[in-house]
A and B are shown apart, each in its own frame.
Chain A
Amino acid sequence: MLARLRQPFERLGSAVMSRVWRLGFAARFFGYMLMHSGTAFGRFRLTIREIYFAGVLSLIIILVSGLFVGMVLGLQGYETLQRYGSSEALGILVALSLVRELGPVVAGLLFASRAGSAITAEIGLMKATEQIAAMEMMAVDPIARVVAPRFWAGVISMPLLAALFSAMGIFGGYLVGVQLIGVDEGAFWSQMQASVDVRNDIVNGVIKSVVFGVAVTWIAVFEGYDARPTAEGVSSATTRTVVTSSLAILALDFMLTALMFTGGNG
């Protein structure tokens, strides 16, 4: 009887212990990866190759999504602003929404699903097909040779993708607001220029996208490296990457917004 009562608590304790252990492992993995990042910079062509796979190949989805998000912002923003007779402020609304929030967050979510999942699947499959073990047997550290270049490529790509997302979104807002609806072009651009602050808006947006880049790529490389070396293991690691990094982006976004844009800054 007592044993049966004890069982759920034992299971809970074991689940908590295993999560804490995995978190500790992820932290040690992150530290080891940073310490062994010399190859990623010393042989920068390895990182450039990964920037192509993580960044360049994500361009289409980022640019198209940015355009449509900007167009929707233009439509919705105009609809609300014109009720108060301030439709000329559409440029400010579109730009601030994108630069502060939607650019980093939506680009981060898209990056997690397009590039993060691909990084996890690639490293996981390398593990399942013994390529990682073969590298270790050739006295080549896979974390320095495989993981670190992918990590730094993600960290470098993410802010660039977020910036392109925002730029494309502003263009989408311009297309709908100015070209389609007929908001004054001069007011659209001049109000945007006057109200968007480099330090408070753009730099904070860039900081967010760098943080999201670190979080997504860290989760992606860790999940790939820690994946069970089976088809099912790689598949569930890829799913975990998308789910965990999406949640991490949203939680980090809230924390960063609370730190950056409250207390009179915004």
Chain B
Amino acid sequence: MAAIVEIEQVSFGYEASRPVLHDVNVRIEQGKVIGVMGQSGCGKTTLLRIIGGALRPSAGTARVLGAEIAALGTRELYALRRKMGMLFQFGALFTDLSVFDNVAFPLREHTRLPEAVLRDLVLLKLEAVGLRGAAGLRPSELSGGMARRVALARAIALDPKLILYDEPFTALDPISLGVVARLIRRLNDSLGATSIVVTHDVAETLPFVDYVFFMADGRVVAEGPPQEVARAKVPFVEQFVHGRPDGAVPFHFPAPRYASDLGIEAA
């Protein structure tokens, strides 16, 4: 199957002395829902930002929808982004616009559709996320889950080929969480898109993704279909999936011996 994202030997650091990604290899096939999982600070959001073209790798190549990210100028990057949608951690809705205008925003910016057609399209997208009735509300009147769904409607407004999700389940109640998870799967399949979900929520993510990458310390430590990876004897994955406090990721931050710190160690 054709790869829609190909990350080869990609390294990146915000500062040269502190690399965040080391030789990362990721291949994502068209039509799949992919989970990228790992602890906070493991580099998964950085990887997502590289795929979205917000960051350029310091080494290696990142090809997205057939384009080499590092070689793109601003104009070409913006042309590529028209084929992408992104859901931010807290929705990132425009607070000065209504729900309707938020979803209409990309359509107004990139198309010259008559207002009547645009209205129908926006209502269609809002209906897909179950919030057609909230079209007239302001973002401040929405719950966290509703805001995330509106942001999802906005992300799919231009029928993207690739949808990026940055921690879509953060701070959601169980009902909203289930709704968002089902929507990610359903919208991906109905649009024929490819979705990349960056998250650390294991229980909610593993059941609906097709393939998963586990990351630790800026490296991909395991990958495969969720059931296979969950069964694999990779210490980090075992600890992460079962939420064990100690293991590959130690409970204690590196420190001198406790007794020595307390001054009670025998000389």
Contacts and interface: CB of A to CB of B under 8 A. Distances in A.
A131 B95 contact: yes
Given A138-B105, A138-B109, A140-B109, A133 B54 contact: yes
B236 interface: no
B195 to A, nearest CB: 15
Contacts, number: 46
A134 interface: yes
Contact of B110 (A129, A136, A139): A139
A111 to B, nearest CB: 21
A130 B89 contact: yes
A197 interface: no
Given A137-B84, A139-B79, A131 B109 contact: no
A141 B88 contact: no
Contact of B81 (A130, A131, A139, A145): A139
Contacts of B90: 129-130
Kindly state the interface size class of chain A when it binds its partner.
10 to 19
A136 B80 CA distance: 12
B88 A136 contact: no
B94 A137 contact: no
Contacts of B105: 138, 140
B64 to A, nearest CB: 13
B95 A129 contact: yes
Contacts of B92: 129-131, 133-134
Interface string B93-109: 11100000000011001
B82 interface: yes
A92 B110 CA distance: 55
A97 to B, nearest CB: 39
Contact of B82 (A134, A136, A139): A139
A133 B52 CA distance: 11
B48 to A, nearest CB: 11
A136 B54 contact: yes
B15 to A, nearest CB: 15
A134 B88 contact: yes
Contact of B86 (A131, A134, A140, A145): A134
Contacts of A131: 92-95
A18 to B, nearest CB: 15
Contacts of A133: 54, 88, 92
Nearest to A49: B96
A136 B86 CA distance: 10
Nearest to A140: B109
Interface of B: 52, 54, 74, 78-79, 81-82, 84-86, 88-90, 92-95, 105-106, 109-110, 151, 154, 164
Given A137-B85, A137-B86, A139-B82, 12 more contacts: A129-B90, A129-B92, A130-B89, A131-B93, A131-B94, A131-B95, A133-B92, A134-B151, A138-B81, A139-B78, A139-B106, A139-B109
Interface of A: 129-131, 133-134, 136-141, 145
9 contacts: A130-B90, A131-B95, A134-B88, A137-B81, A137-B84, A137-B164, A139-B81, A139-B82, A140-B109
Across the A-B interface, give the 8 residue pairs with the lowest CB-CB distance, nearest first: A134-B92, A130-B92, A139-B78, A139-B81, A137-B86, A130-B88, A138-B106, A139-B82
